């Protein structure tokens, strides 16, 4: 499709130039003006096509640079990832141990509170009788 746009731009330039020349020779200003417009339209289209092509090339260069930089960063980050993975694997074990200890403490407190409550209830019952 780009080839047809490029060809159309070239055709517009050539045909516009011919119309412009014919208008000058015959003295018809309308034909000369339409020819100039068509020629400039072809030039503008060609310029847009070149700019688009250059922009695409720059995008591809940038994409390659980003990919290269990402690979460099990823390569150096692999060692850090391995260390972090080792730490995260031991973290659940530590957390499980801490959770067990907390559960034992809570159970002990609950038993102690239950014993105190029972003893207070018995004392209150003796006083009431």
- Indicate the domain borders of the chain: 1-76, 98-129
* DSSP string computed for 21-79: HHHHHHT-HHHHHHHHHHHHHHHHHHHHHHHHHHHHHHHHHHHHHHHHHHHHHHHHHHH
pLDDT tens-digit series, residues 117-126: 777 777 777 7
Give the closest residue to 30 by CA, choosing from 39, 45, 20: 20
Query: pLDDT by residue (tens digit) across 58-76?
Result: 888 888 888 887 777 666 6
Q: Distance between CA atoms of 67 and 74, rounded to whole angstroms?
A: 10
Percent of the chain with pLDDT over 90: 17
Residue with tokens 């746009």: 5
């Amino acid at each position: 499709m780009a080839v047809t746009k490029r060809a159309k731009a070239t055709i517009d330039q050539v045909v516009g130039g011919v119309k412009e020349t014919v208008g000058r020779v015959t003295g018809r200003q309308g034909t000369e003006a339409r020819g100039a417009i068509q020629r400039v339209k072809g030039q503008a289209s060609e310029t847009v096509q070149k700019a688009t092509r250059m922009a695409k090339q720059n995008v591809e260069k940038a994409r390659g640079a980003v990919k290269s930089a990402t690979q460099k960063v990823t390569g150096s980050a692999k060692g850090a990832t391995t260390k972090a993975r080792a730490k995260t694997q031991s973290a659940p074990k530590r957390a499980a141990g801490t959770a067990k200890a907390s559960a034992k403490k809570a159970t002990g407190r609950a038993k102690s509170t239950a014993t105190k409550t029972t003893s207070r209830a018995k004392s209150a019952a003796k006083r009431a009788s």
